[in-house]
Structure 1
Amino acid sequence: MALTGVTSRAGWLDKVRRAESLGYDVLQLPDHLGLTAPFPALVAAADVTTMRLGTFVLNTALYRPWVLARDVADTHRLTGGRLELGLGTGYLEHEFAAAGLPFGSGAERLRQLAATLHEVRERLAAEPDRPDPPVLLAGAGRRLLELAGREADIVGFSVQAALTPGVAPEQALADRVAVVREAAGDRFDNLELNLIVGAVGPDPAGLDLTIARAATGLPDDQLFGLPSVLCGSDQAIAERLLRYRDELGITYYGVLEPHMEAFAGVIPHLR
C-alpha cells in the first residue's frame, strides 16, 4: 500500500492504521520532490503498525551512497527490521534539475543505481549489526529487469511492463518475467515478484483510470487489457491475480493510495 500526503503526525498515523485495518501487509512511500520524506514517515509509522515498511522507490540519484547507507541502517533498526529498500533510477527530468543534478541517459542512471546499490550493501555489511533489508528494484526496461534479476530480492513490474508493440499485454508481461528469470538463474525461485495495480473497481464506467492513463499514454479502451487494470467483482479480480501467481509467479501487488479502499475487498479472497 503506497501512501502519500503527510499533513500532520496524527493524520499520517490514522492513515497508516486504516491501511492495516483493510488487510494490507506492506506500507510503502514513493520518493518525489514535494512529497513526504520516506524515511521519517516510515519510522513514525512503525509505532502503530506491524506492516512491512518500504520505499517505492527512492530516486537513487538524489542520494550519496554513504548518506543513503546511514539512513537505511537506522531506518531498518528503528522499524524493528521491517524495512524494504526500494531503489530506482529516477525518471522525472524536472526533479533532477531542481536538485541541481544532470539527468543523463537511461544507461547512465542505471549504472549509477547499480553502483549505489553495491556501495550501500558494502557499507551496511561493515556495520556491527550488519543490517540487510531486502532490496526491491522496479521498472519495465530490459536492462533494469536484468539488474533486478541478478541483485534484487523483490522485482517490481510497473504498469508499462505489459507494453510491447504488437504483443498482447499479458504476453508482454510474461516476456519480462522471463527476462528476470534468465538473469536470476538459480536464485529466481527465491525472488518475490511485484506488480503495480494501475486501476481497480467493479464497473468499467466508474473505473478511475488516471494512474494507468498517465503511466501509459494509451486511450482508455486499450487500458482494460492491461494486467494491472483490474475490473470486475472482488472474486473475479482475485481469481485473475491467482492466475498470475500460478502462471507468472507474481505474489505481491502494489496498490496506490487512490485505490486503497477499492482493492481492500479483493484481499480476503487472496488469503
Structure 2
Amino acid sequence: MRRIADSGYSTLLMPDFPLMQPAPGPTLAVAAALTNLRVGTWVYASPLRPAWLTAWEAHSLTQLTGGRFEMGVGTGRPGIDDELRDKGMPAVPPGERLDRIRDTVRALREFDGAGRHTPVAMAVRGPKARALAAEVADTVTFVQRADEPRAEVARLARDFRAVRDVELALAVSVVGDRVAPHMAPPDVDPAAVRAADSLATLPEDPAAAAEEIQRRREEIGFSYFVFGADSADTFAPVVAKLAGQ
C-alpha cells in the first residue's frame, strides 16, 4: 500500500469478492490509516448485501477516512447468481438489483447528512442502469467486454455526457500481454483485445501509455483510470508524468 502511495497514485480500490480476499471495509480503513490515499470499492455487488448495510459501511468508511472513501456499486459481475446460490442466498432479479442500488444511495445520503457527501461510482451498461447513474452517481464506468471495439464504448460515453456531465472512469484490464486478475476472464487473449482497438487495454511502454491516456481524455472524456495492482510499478512513470493534469 505504501509503495502505491509513494508512486503517486491517488486511490486504492478493492473488488467485492467475499471469501476470496479480506473484507473491503476493514482493509480499506487500514489502507487509509497507513497512507494518504483515497480508498474505494470497485465495486460493491448489490445482490450480496442489504442496501442499508452497504450504506452504513460506506458512511462509516467516509467517517473513518476523513472523507477519503468512494463507494463504487454495481448490479453484480457475471456469474453472480451462481455465487449467491453457493452462499445459500436467493437470486436477485435484475430490476431489483437496480432498486437496491437506488436504496443504497438513498440510505447513504441519509447517513451522511448535510455535512458529508460520500462520492458514488456506478458500473453501468443498459439503459435503466445508465438512467439511474445519471440520477445518483458522481463517477460512471461502463461495463465492457475486453475485446469490445473502442467506438462502441466511446458512443456510450458521449451519449451519457449529453445527459449529465459527471466524471467518467475507465477500467483497463489488459496491459501489454498481462490480464489483470479479477478485472477480466483469465482466458482473455491480449492480442485479440489489441486487434479490436479496445479501450480495455493499454501498451506496457509508459510513454506510449501516457500518450494514449491523454488521447482518451481529450477525445472521449475519461479522466479516471483504473489498473490492476500487478501494473502499479509499470505505470508509476505514467502517474508521475500525468499527475495534476
TM-score range, shorter chain: 0.7 to 0.9
Paired letter, 1:208: R
Superposed counterparts of 1:1-271, under 5 Å: 16-34=1-19, 35-91=21-77, 92-125=80-113, 130-160=115-145, 163=148, 169-184=149-164, 188=165, 191-201=166-176, 207-209=177-179, 214=185, 219-224=189-194, 225-271=197-243
TM-score, structure 2 as length reference:
0.86
SS, match of residue 234 in structure 2 = helix
Amino acid in structure 2 at the alignment position of 1:171: A
Give the distance between the partners of 1:66 and 1:106, measured in 2 at CA.
Answer: 19
The Cα shift of 1:64 comes to 2.1
Question: Which segment is superposed worse, 70-79 or 143-152?
Answer: 143-152
SS of alignment partner, residue 131 of structure 2 = helix
How far residue 36 of structure 1 moved from its aligned partner, in angstroms, is: 1.6
Aligned residues: 237
How much has 1:88 moved relative to structure 2? 1.1
Q: 1:175/1:110 Cα in 2 relative to 1: closer, same or farther (>3 Å)?
A: same
1:65–1:116: 8 Å Cα contact kept in structure 2?
yes
TM-score for the superposition, normalised by structure 1: 0.78
Q: In the TM superposition, what is the alpha-carbon distance from 1:26 to its structure 2 partner?
A: 0.3
What is the rounded CA distance, in whole Å, between the counterparts of 1:17 and 1:153 in structure 2? 27
Tell me the secondary structure at the aligned position of residue 36 of structure 1: coil
User: In structure 2, what is the Cα distance between the partners aligned to 1:255 and 1:26?
Assistant: 11
Deviations 1:48-87 (A, max 9, x none): 2111111111112222233233222221111111110111
Q: Structure 1 stretches of 5 or more lacking a match?
A: 1-15, 164-168, 202-206
Q: Unaligned stretches of 5+ in structure 2? A: none
Separation in structure 1 between the aligned mates of residue 147 and residue 150 of structure 2, nearest angstrom: 6
The 2-side partners of 1:140 and 1:257 are apart by 25
Q: Using a 3 Å threshold, how does the CA distance of structure 1 residues 250 and 263 change in structure 2: closer, same or farther?
A: same
- SS of the equivalent of 2:34 reads coil
Distance in structure 2 (CA, Å) of the matches to 1:183 and 1:28: 27
Greater per-residue helix proportion: 1
- Deviation (angstroms), 1:213: 5.6
